[in-house]
Chain A
């Protein structure tokens, strides 16, 4: 919940305290619990389901993600239209998005779990997720070691700022959201038709 007068005005954030306020943490725990529950029920904590998607043989991951995107998008932009939420759009940096994305994908195939689903895999008793989690922590440190260099180089390549698809196509956002929601549903229908799993 945000105050209406803060809905559109980006403000300089006050320095973050070492431990965030308790209510915020409780909300995070409740939402994380729900997210973990859903990931497990969606089968996306399972090694063969995730690897199967990367082998283009099991389309469960695409079904979950595209459904989440379609529903999430329509609701979020409706809430935003009425000034109820802030958007949190990450800047588009072509070099970093592409190179980082490809490196991430290669690692994803080796682990068989992604950062969120590794936590879900651990919860459902797949202990090999622990090795991936250890790698994620070590890799985060390694990136921090490199971050002075990446910030001056890769992260400056093709920096377009916080740009959204409707800006790129020069169409009104509401029109885009409606058309895109329909397109996502059509794509989901096609996946459902041709990929039973």
Chain B
């Protein structure tokens, strides 16, 4: 039997994509917001910063331009986790695992190694997203569907950068 997380999508990816497209109409129409994810992490960083080092946080340009607060984007991303729990549990795809089998097959079963690589990757991903102005959701879906030139450039670069690292990572 195929382990749950090596299986492909449970539903047709075209159907899921079309539904995400419809969801984007609704977020624009009801909330006047595009779908996006990466700013959530910046809001969390800013809120933690306000607790730990309020004066330092207040001096940083990004947080001056984007005051950290619990807003629509914050709730949206927090709710993604719950939506995914519902989908996984009802679909019998809840994995409950620390390491993806594909990672273990290539890099072994050290959680510390996975933690270090994923943390470092997350660091790069956040810096890249903030510099580029968005992530695979904000640029990759919302920006591209609004035909923003910068979003198309950014998403092409997301995949070029990703391909340039992922292929050697698993082949060398």
Binding site for B on A (CB under 8 A): 1-2, 16-20, 24-25, 27-49, 51, 53-56, 58, 60, 63-73, 75-76, 79, 84-94, 96-112, 114-129, 131-148, 150-151, 154-155, 160, 162-168, 173, 176-177, 180, 188, 192, 197
Chain B nearest Cβ from A74, distance in angstroms: 8
Give the chain B neighbours of A106 by CB distance below 8 A: 121, 124, 128, 161-162, 164-165
Mark out the residues of chain B between 102 and 125 whose CB falls within 8 Å of any chain A CB in the assembled complex.
Answer: 102-103, 111, 114-125
Give the chain B neighbours of A120 by CB distance below 8 A: 80-81, 83-84
Interface residues as binary, B47-86 with A (CB distance below 8 Å gives 1, 0 otherwise): 0110000000100111101010111111111111111111
Between A31, A98, A145, A173, the greatest number of chain B beta carbons within 10 A of the residue's beta carbon is seen for A31
Check if A117 sits within 8 Å of B149, measured CB to CB: no
Also in contact, A142 and B127, with CB within 8 A (given A36-B79, A131-B122): yes
Q: A97: which of B30, B31, B153 is its contact (CB, 8 Å)? A: B153
Check if A126 sits within 8 Å of B95, measured CB to CB: yes
Between B6, B72, B136, B156, the greatest number of chain A beta carbons within 10 A of the residue's beta carbon is seen for B136
- What is the CA–CA distance of A37 and B70 in the complex, to the nearest angstrom? 22
Q: B115: which of A36, A63, A88, A131 is its contact (CB, 8 Å)? A: A131
| 21 cross-chain CB contacts under 8 A | A20-B71, A29-B79, A32-B75, A68-B145, A75-B22, A84-B29, A85-B29, A100-B127, A102-B157, A104-B129, A104-B135, A105-B159, A107-B122, A110-B165, A114-B136, A115-B77, A128-B111, A128-B118, A139-B126, A140-B126, A163-B148
Check if B76 sits within 8 Å of A32, measured CB to CB: yes
Give the chain A neighbours of B116 by CB distance below 8 A: 131
- What is the CA–CA distance of A42 and B26 in the complex, to the nearest angstrom? 19
Check if B45 sits within 8 Å of A140, measured CB to CB: yes
Check if A63 sits within 8 Å of B13, measured CB to CB: yes
- What is the CA–CA distance of A32 and B39 in the complex, to the nearest angstrom? 14
Between A97, A101, A103, the greatest number of chain B beta carbons within 10 A of the residue's beta carbon is seen for A101
Interface residues as binary, B1-43 with A (CB distance below 8 Å gives 1, 0 otherwise): 0000111111101111111111111111111111101101110
- What is the CA–CA distance of A54 and B161 in the complex, to the nearest angstrom? 9
List the A residue with the shortest CB-CB distance to B124: A107
Give the chain B neighbours of A125 by CB distance below 8 A: 88, 94-97
Also in contact, A123 and B80, with CB within 8 A (given A20-B71, A49-B8, A142-B123): yes
Check if A110 sits within 8 Å of B117, measured CB to CB: yes
- What is the CA–CA distance of A92 and B72 in the complex, to the nearest angstrom? 24
- What is the CA–CA distance of A133 and B114 in the complex, to the nearest angstrom? 13
Check if B128 sits within 8 Å of A107, measured CB to CB: yes
List the A residue with the shortest CB-CB distance to B49: A141
Check if B28 sits within 8 Å of A16, measured CB to CB: no
- What is the CA–CA distance of A99 and B158 in the complex, to the nearest angstrom? 10
- What is the CA–CA distance of A180 and B148 in the complex, to the nearest angstrom? 13
Also in contact, A144 and B76, with CB within 8 A (given A100-B131, A125-B88, A135-B121): no
Q: B155: which of A25, A39, A101, A145 is its contact (CB, 8 Å)? A: A101
Please name the 10 residue pairs, one residue from A and one from B, whose CB atoms are nearest each other, closest first.
Answer: A135-B122, A105-B161, A101-B157, A67-B17, A36-B83, A123-B84, A71-B21, A110-B121, A139-B126, A104-B128
Give the chain B neighbours of A115 by CB distance below 8 A: 37-38, 40-41, 77, 125-126, 129, 135-137
Check if A180 sits within 8 Å of B147, measured CB to CB: yes
Check if A109 sits within 8 Å of B23, measured CB to CB: no
